[in-house]
Amino acid sequence: MALFTAGWVFIAEVALNNADHGAVAGGFGIIIVYFIISYVKLANMARALPKETSAEDEKAKYKNLAIIIAVEVLAVIATKIALGKTHHDNLVIPSFALITGLFFFPIGKLYNRTFYYFVGAWMCLMAVVGYGLVYQGVPAYWPNPVVGIGCALATVANGIRIIRMGGITTLEI
């Protein structure tokens, strides 16, 4: 989640053009560092655990995940090209948020994680908010930071949920 949070924060910071004096990057930066430390700790803990699923099950999940990711990447590329050709570049970031939000629904089903449905719904909501801001004629520098920060909050919530599921407390880091 650290990488995804960083991506959404980067989008927000670029759109803000340092109007926030780096506050968004600084605030989320602390969380990103926490995620990286927690990831290392969780990865080490996971290596010590016995495998619960068979190799065939893991391969099937990995194949399905690869297909879902490939479809997402193709959708992002096609959307960027289509919006660029039609001179609607102001809709790129909300569209990326919509695609990413929709991505969480099959991932939720694949991994049987109800929380992913909430993350996906939140990101889709952020996309709708972004579209709404664009179509209301809000200055161009507002929709992308709103969408970026909103989606970063979703990835942070998911990251915290993953860390808590792993049983890591802040005292252990």
Label residue 44 by pLDDT band (50, 70, 90). Answer: confident
Residues with Cβ within 8 Å of 67's Cβ and at least 6 positions away in sequence, in order, are none
Please give the pLDDT value at position 171: 46
d(Cα 50, Cα 60) in Å, to the nearest integer?
A: 19
Q: Is the pLDDT of residue 129 over 70?
A: yes
Q: What is the pTM of this model?
A: 0.86
Label residue 168 by pLDDT band (50, 70, 90). Answer: low
Q: Is the pLDDT of residue 81 over 90?
A: yes
pLDDT tens-digit readout, 92-114: 999 999 999 999 999 999 989 99
Residues with Cβ within 8 Å of 31's Cβ and at least 6 positions away in sequence, in order, are 5, 156, 159
Higher pLDDT, 166 or 113: 113
Please give the pLDDT value at position 167: 73
Q: Is the pLDDT of residue 68 over 70?
A: yes
* High-pLDDT (> 70) share of the chain, %: 94
How many structural domains comprise the chain? Answer: 1
d(Cα 3, Cα 36) in Å, to the nearest integer?
A: 9
Domain membership of residue 135 as a residue range: 2-172
Average pLDDT for residues 78-83, to the nearest whole number? 97
Label residue 52 by pLDDT band (50, 70, 90). Answer: low
Amino acid type, 55: A
User: Concatenated DSSP letters for 112-160?
Assistant: T-HHHHHHHHHHHHHHHHHHHHHHTT--TTTHHHHHHHHHHHHHHHHHH
Q: Is the pLDDT of residue 71 over 80?
A: yes
Q: Is the pLDDT of residue 173 over 50?
A: no
